[in-house]
Chain A
Amino acid sequence: MILDVNGVEFDYRSKEVLSNIKFHLQKNEILAILGPNGVGKTTLLKCMNAILKPKSGTIMIEEQDVLKLEQMEIARRLGYVPQQCESARLTAFDAILLGRMPHIKWNISTGDVMLVENVIKRLKLEDLALRYIDELSGGELQKVGIARALAQNPKLLLLDEPTSSLDLRNQLDILDIVRDVVKKEDVSAIMTMHDLNLAFRYADKFLFLKNGTIFAAGSIADVSPQVIEEVYGVPVTIQNYQNVSVVIPV
């Protein structure tokens, strides 16, 4: 087990946002956090690497409680890609190199540069490497963000709506990259998502939030039209098309 979350609660200005969150994740698995706008998906994701401090609960990553680690130590174990990456006058290479920050003392080593080079090759970003990121498109910038998180050498990737505001091609590209990395390397991923069909296509496990707590969780077999209707308030049917589940509102 790579991640074990138990009894996490989070308050925002003494208003309860999340309560009794409990789930776990195995190596090489992708978990999709689903639910309506404002239910606390992003909040939950940010609690995972203690960007937001939960009021109570434990988040064990490889037998260590994230909430008891220093921020830098957390960053060596969890890579986080926010919904929106800001751009600056930096090359993509520099931007990805930033992912080595939690690991370096004073300056980058040849090893760091090699690792960045490998990530770039891994994600097929060779053409972007020396371009300035303030000249990249949204999809390209998102790929650089994921590359940066991978350069952190994390055990767990946290992705906040990685496909929002991307076109179809880029949505598939990004999620292919995530799936490829998770399946082939020593890493797992948690993504918040809005698009149920993309989630079904790429994730191994699903976690539906409603009213700040887990409404349903499990694999695709546990996702029923009733669950989706309860969570989103929209009646749906789930059809199978060439072994991929597809949600259709009715």
Chain B
Amino acid sequence: MSSEAGDIVSRYKEHTAKKVSYILTGILLLFLVVVYSISTGSVDIPPLDVVRTLAGQSISPTWDSIIWNIRLPQVLTAIVAGTGLAISGVVMQSILRNPLGSPFTLGISNAAAFGAAFSIIILGAGSTSSNVGTAVIINNPYVTTISAFVFAMIATAVILMFAKLRGTTPEVMILIGVALGSLFTAGTMFLQYFADDVQLASMVFWTFGDTSRANWEELGLITVIVVIAFVYFTLNRWKYNAIDAGDETAKGLGVNVDRVRLWGMIWASFVTAITVAFLGVIGFIGLICPHMARRLIGDDHRFLITGSVVMGALLLLCADTVARVMIQPYQLPVAVLTAFLGAPTFIYLILKGRRI
């Protein structure tokens, strides 16, 4: 009996070791894709030289400039944005007890898009003159970013306010979120109707999420927020597992379910808002990456949060790289590709998977 029981523990350890190995494999893969992504583009740089340049050697001033000023920021932005969207998604799915929980289902990105449209039309941040080189200019990108962020947070605040009134239940939050989403979409359409063609172009341009938009400072800001959120979510990993077992069980285990739900929502929305405000709307990553990670390593948040991070970073970076080189010399914004990839992947997951 005792040998069999010892067996349980060792089998359990093997089981968890497997999850860790999936995550480590993912991280390794991510490094390879980073190097590949930096090496390809309108100018191809040999991967080995990419590694050398990143290690601090200077091989050629041109390549230095391409790598440090253009490709590396974009690659890192893709990784950080993928991370942020994936952790928001995985946490929202848990605290809302709904597989469709994501910042997008809750209308937060619709609100951000409205905020951008609002800044372009009402606050005049949009271009009034376009020149030949670039078709669309947003005159004052910071006004647009701040406006998008503010509206995303307003949407969150409204959801939380109603949740406070009617009880912090997943149903209330999701239904209010869906209602808000269509309200903001209607608002955006209203503004679009009165926009001139240049303003309209600016709005549409803003909506396409694009990782090349962020500079080093903006990347730094997004990174700080995403890292703090990741640490916060990781500290709460046991609580999310407990909530997965049902609100009642979680309460019996000493978890203040309402508080975990409230702060989880606030952080997840905050991360989404800041990502969307700087980069535009990048759909589906927050929804799909957690589900892909779940299929590999299960619902245990001790591993799932990190797993989703790796999956989100990997997927968005791959999509970004493909979008960059697919139709040269044009660089597609990554959001176009994630939407194309997202829908079929999601349907595939539903058809092939167990219950989502």
Contact = CB atoms under 8 A, between A and B. Distances in A.
Interface string A85-102: 110111101110011011
B299 interface: yes
A81 B5 CA distance: 25
Interface of A: 46, 49, 51, 70-76, 78-82, 84-86, 88-91, 93-95, 98-99, 101-102, 104, 113-114, 117, 120-121, 126, 129-130, 132, 134, 145, 148-149, 152, 158
B349 interface: no
Contacts of A75: 252-254
B252 A120 contact: no
B238 A90 contact: no
Nearest to B97: A86
Contacts, number: 106
Nearest to B256: A71
B246 interface: yes
B8 A126 contact: yes
A82 B249 contact: yes
A117 B238 contact: no
A94 B300 CA distance: 8
B253 A89 contact: no
Question: Looking at B5, B15, B241, B254, which has the most chain A CB atoms within 10 Å of its CB?
Answer: B254
Interface in B231-246: 238-239, 241-242, 244-246
Question: Looking at B8, B239, B246, which has the most chain A CB atoms within 10 Å of its CB?
Answer: B8
A158 B249 CA distance: 11
Nearest to A86: B246
A72 B254 contact: yes
Nearest to B254: A75
B52 interface: no
9 cross-chain pairs, A with B, having the tightest CB-CB distances, nearest first: A80-B252, A75-B254, A82-B248, A72-B254, A86-B246, A89-B299, A89-B298, A88-B299, A88-B244
A76 to B, nearest CB: 8
B11 interface: yes
A90 B299 contact: yes
Contact of A71 (B8, B255, B294): B255
A145 B249 contact: yes
Interface in B214-246: 238-239, 241-242, 244-246
Nearest to A93: B12
B164 interface: no
A79 B245 CA distance: 14
Question: Looking at A76, A84, A98, which has the most chain B CB atoms within 10 Å of its CB?
Answer: A98
A113 B6 CA distance: 11
Given A51-B252, A148-B245, 18 more contacts: A49-B252, A51-B251, A73-B254, A85-B245, A86-B244, A86-B246, A86-B249, A89-B298, A90-B299, A93-B15, A94-B241, A94-B300, A95-B245, A99-B253, A101-B254, A113-B12, A134-B355, A158-B252
B244 to A, nearest CB: 4
Nearest to B252: A80
Given A85-B249, A121-B5, A129 B11 contact: yes
Nearest to B251: A51
Contact of B253 (A114, A132, A152): A152
Interface of B: 1, 4-5, 8-9, 11-12, 15, 238-239, 241-242, 244-246, 248-249, 251-256, 294, 298-300, 354-355
Contacts of A73: 254
A249 B249 CA distance: 35
Contacts of B5: 117, 120-121, 126
Nearest to A145: B249
Contacts of B238: 98, 101, 104
A91 B12 contact: yes
Question: Looking at B245, B249, B252, B254, which has the most chain A CB atoms within 10 Å of its CB?
Answer: B252
Contacts of A72: 254
A129 B11 CA distance: 9
Contacts of B255: 71, 101
Contacts of A94: 241, 300
A134 to B, nearest CB: 7
Contacts of B249: 80-82, 85-86, 145, 148
Contact of B248 (A51, A89, A99, A134): A51
Contacts of A89: 294, 298-300, 354
B8 A82 contact: no
A229 to B, nearest CB: 33
Given A82-B248, A134-B355, A129 B8 contact: yes
Contacts of A152: 253
B242 A101 contact: yes
A242 B263 CA distance: 57
A117 B245 contact: no
A93 B8 contact: yes
B245 A86 contact: yes
A82 B15 CA distance: 28
B101 to A, nearest CB: 14
A85 B246 contact: yes
A130 B241 CA distance: 17
Nearest to A102: B254
A188 B8 CA distance: 28
B8 A120 contact: yes
Nearest to A50: B251
